[in-house]
A and B are shown apart, each in its own frame.
Chain A
Amino acid sequence: MTASKTQAYALPARAGLGLKPEHYETVLANRPDVGFFEVHAENYMGAGGPPHRYLEAITELYPLSLHGVGLSIGAAHELDKAHLKRLRGLIDRYRPQSFSEHLAWSTHDTGFLNDLLPLPYTPETLARVIDHVDETQQALGRRLLLENPSTYVLFADSTIDEVDFLATIAERTGCGLLLDVNNVMVSAVNHRLDAATYIDRFPVELVGEIHLAGYDETVDDAGDRLLIDAHGTAVKSDVVALYQHTLARSGPLPTLIEWDNDVPDFATLQAEAARADAMLAAEALRRNGQRIRAA
């Protein structure tokens, strides 16, 4: 295993939480037993102030996952060099145990569109994304984890299956993958696919981190179920079950609880993390048990 791989996998196989400004003080005062914290890189791109002061203090105590939401890796146009430089600055400053970004685009000529937008899966887009991942890893001097998206529409032009698309990017660039189990559920329901099959085909050996979140539910114009990746509630029971299914294949992996909207009190977040931690521990135990029986 290369040094960069070791670094990418250095988050503990525990449940982690998104670090929110309203919880800075609680975390520092109570030092809760949380496996790691994750922050959105763009929220720490100011020059100074309380965000950096708190993040410095908290990274003294916990492993850090740096999660980018604005690099626009799936964009047709070139990557924003200034943004890559800002990311490099954060990585050099905080030495996060993991850095991840999305298979999506968010910037266009009109500016930053502030959403993770979908792209068609074609040989052309595959080549584009591979170039962008290569460039990113080069600029940041480390491996990144690329996250599977949640999507609401399909592209008539797509010719490549999403799992194959991600696996090929990983194979060609050496990047790892971030498996968002909620995104799998959202996309599977929205596109009438089987979520468990998606997980069964996913190259779990390349996964450095799992995301869990809560979705919202509505219907589209035809009355079909439409799940929205909302990050504003606890993880839904079908996603918990799919996570269980994932762990049985992948073994214990660092698992983030994403709760970015209507953020609850810290105790509620901790309860969500505790549920994932219990499942991670049970999976570790199950595997150890198998090993003992085999011996």
Chain B
Amino acid sequence: MTMDLAASQTAFADALLHADRPVPDGITTARGEADAARFAVYRNNVFVGLTKALAQRFPVTERLVGTQFFVAMARAYAQDHKPASPLIIEYGGDFPDFIASFQPASKLAYLPDVARIEAAWMRAYHAADATPLDLAVLAAVAPERLADLRLVAHPSTGLIRSGYPVGSIWSAHQLETVTPITDWRPQDVLVVRPEMTVNIHILPSQDAVFAACLFDGATLGAAAEAALTEAPAFDFGAALMGLVSLGAFRALQPDEGNVP
């Protein structure tokens, strides 16, 4: 029996997601005939709801391309990307990847990375709360043990390594009047919410290498080595203290945390 309901919902969903399909059989009105305008209300609700959710999550992206372009891009995404669950707060996690492959937006090479900041912002906003690692805890570690130490990333952290000044672009578009970016160079952006406010930080590139390695689970020693390879001027102490004070870590790796 449920086969019938399943089949009818499949037909309904198919027609809903494809504007060129006719109103499914058995869908009628008080007049006793199908009415495309009425069925279109559902179709419209689905797509307007999803594009609105994307506009809320990606406001700078929308500002950069204009509402009309954004809505078209969002609809193209929504056509093939339905939310995996009823958690609309998670919808659009891979919208930046879609933008990167969206031909009409290809001239704005920095657009996917700006969207990645916005995707990371929302992830950070809803991430688990955690007290960031206290600098004093790190300071209490014996110096000879530091190189073998691993740190646990704060649940809210996101790192966007870009070939464009996406941190500056994002920041400029938080204000009503956008000032042009004068210093056009690659930027690495750390997104983190140590307390209740999501923060966006532009990191020196060697610090970003260091952070990326640590977030991947590398030891402080291995991460420092990678950063030094990128920039001989890398300052281990300053970089570590900097990241810790931004709240990028939650704790020392448990198996090493109890060592005085």
A: residues with CB less than 8 A from B are: 42-43, 45-53, 69-72, 75-77, 80, 82-83, 105-115, 117, 119-120, 124-125, 127-128, 152-157, 190-193, 218-222, 224, 226, 228
Please state if A113 and B125 are interface contacts (CB–CB under 8 Å). no
Please state if A45 and B129 are interface contacts (CB–CB under 8 Å). no
Q: Which A residues lie within 8 Å of B27 (CB)?
A: 153-156
**Any A CB within 8 A of the CB of B232:** no
**Any A CB within 8 A of the CB of B140:** no
User: Could you tell me the distance between the alpha carbons of A74 and B85 in the complex, rounded to whole angstroms?
Assistant: 16
Select which of B37, B53, B125 is within 8 A of A220 by beta carbon: B37
Identity of the chain B residue whose Cβ is nearest the Cβ of A114 in the assembled complex: B49
**Any A CB within 8 A of the CB of B238:** no
Select which of B16, B23, B28 is within 8 A of A113 by beta carbon: B16
Please state if B45 and A221 are interface contacts (CB–CB under 8 Å). no
New A-B contacts (16) at CB < 8 Å, excluding given A80-B86, A128-B5: A42-B86, A47-B127, A48-B128, A48-B155, A49-B193, A50-B125, A76-B2, A76-B8, A107-B86, A110-B17, A115-B42, A124-B5, A125-B5, A154-B29, A221-B37, A222-B29
User: Could you tell me the distance between the alpha carbons of A124 and B9 in the complex, rounded to whole angstroms?
Assistant: 13
Select which of A51, A82, A193 is within 8 A of B85 by beta carbon: A82
Name the distance in Å between A157's Cβ and chain B's nearest Cβ. 6
Identity of the chain A residue whose Cβ is nearest the Cβ of B12 in the assembled complex: A117
B203-231 near A? 1/0 per residue, CB < 8 Å: 00000000000000000000000000000
Please state if B42 and A83 are interface contacts (CB–CB under 8 Å). no
Decide yes or no: A76 and B28 within 8 Å by CB, A70-B86, A114-B49, A222-B35 being known contacts. no
User: Could you tell me the distance between the alpha carbons of A46 and B88 in the complex, rounded to whole angstroms?
Assistant: 10
Q: Which B residues lie within 8 Å of A190 (CB)?
A: 30, 38
User: Could you tell me the distance between the alpha carbons of A206 and B186 in the complex, rounded to whole angstroms?
Assistant: 62
User: Could you tell me the distance between the alpha carbons of A109 and B84 in the complex, rounded to whole angstroms?
Assistant: 10
How many A-B contacts at CB < 8 Å in the complex? 157
User: Could you tell me the distance between the alpha carbons of A226 and B38 in the complex, rounded to whole angstroms?
Assistant: 8
B7-35 near A? 1/0 per residue, CB < 8 Å: 01110110011000001001111110001
Q: Which A residues lie within 8 Å of B35 (CB)?
A: 153, 220-222
Q: Which A residues lie within 8 Å of B9 (CB)?
A: 75-76, 105, 108, 117, 119
B30-72 near A? 1/0 per residue, CB < 8 Å: 1100011111011001100110010000000000000000000
Name the distance in Å between B247's Cβ and chain A's nearest Cβ. 14
Name the distance in Å between A107's Cβ and chain B's nearest Cβ. 7
Decide yes or no: A83 and B85 within 8 Å by CB, A125-B5, A128-B2, A221-B37 being known contacts. yes
User: Could you tell me the distance between the alpha carbons of A69 and B2 in the complex, rounded to whole angstroms?
Assistant: 23
User: Could you tell me the distance between the alpha carbons of A53 and B127 in the complex, rounded to whole angstroms?
Assistant: 12
Instruction: Label chain B's interface by main secondary structure.
Output: helix
User: Could you tell me the distance between the alpha carbons of A50 and B79 in the complex, rounded to whole angstroms?
Assistant: 31
Tell me how many residues of B have a C-beta within 8 Å of chain A: 49
Identity of the chain B residue whose Cβ is nearest the Cβ of A53 in the assembled complex: B196
Identity of the chain B residue whose Cβ is nearest the Cβ of A193 in the assembled complex: B30
Decide yes or no: A115 and B85 within 8 Å by CB, A105-B9, A125-B5, A228-B41 being known contacts. no
Q: Which B residues lie within 8 Å of A112 (CB)?
A: 82-86, 88
Select which of B16, B31, B87, B125 is within 8 A of A49 by beta carbon: B125
Q: Which A residues lie within 8 Å of B12 (CB)?
A: 117
User: Could you tell me the distance between the alpha carbons of A125 and B5 in the complex, rounded to whole angstroms?
Assistant: 7
Please state if B84 and A45 are interface contacts (CB–CB under 8 Å). no
Decide yes or no: A224 and B31 within 8 Å by CB, A47-B126, A108-B13, A156-B26 being known contacts. yes
Identity of the chain B residue whose Cβ is nearest the Cβ of A154 in the assembled complex: B28
User: Could you tell me the distance between the alpha carbons of A141 and B89 in the complex, rounded to whole angstroms?
Assistant: 26
Q: Give 19 A-B contacts (CB < 8 Å), ordered by A residue.
A: A47-B127, A49-B124, A70-B86, A76-B8, A80-B86, A108-B10, A110-B17, A114-B46, A114-B49, A120-B26, A124-B2, A124-B5, A152-B39, A153-B29, A154-B27, A155-B28, A191-B30, A192-B30, A222-B31
Select which of B5, B10, B86 is within 8 A of A71 by beta carbon: B86
**Any A CB within 8 A of the CB of B6:** yes
User: Could you tell me the distance between the alpha carbons of A155 and B5 in the complex, rounded to whole angstroms?
Assistant: 12
**Any A CB within 8 A of the CB of B1:** yes
User: Could you tell me the distance between the alpha carbons of A50 and B126 in the complex, rounded to whole angstroms?
Assistant: 8
Q: Which A residues lie within 8 Å of B86 (CB)?
A: 42, 69-72, 80, 83, 106-107, 112
B152-191 near A? 1/0 per residue, CB < 8 Å: 0001000000000000000000000000000000000000
User: Could you tell me the distance between the alpha carbons of A124 and B129 in the complex, rounded to whole angstroms?
Assistant: 45
User: Could you tell me the distance between the alpha carbons of A175 and B5 in the complex, rounded to whole angstroms?
Assistant: 23
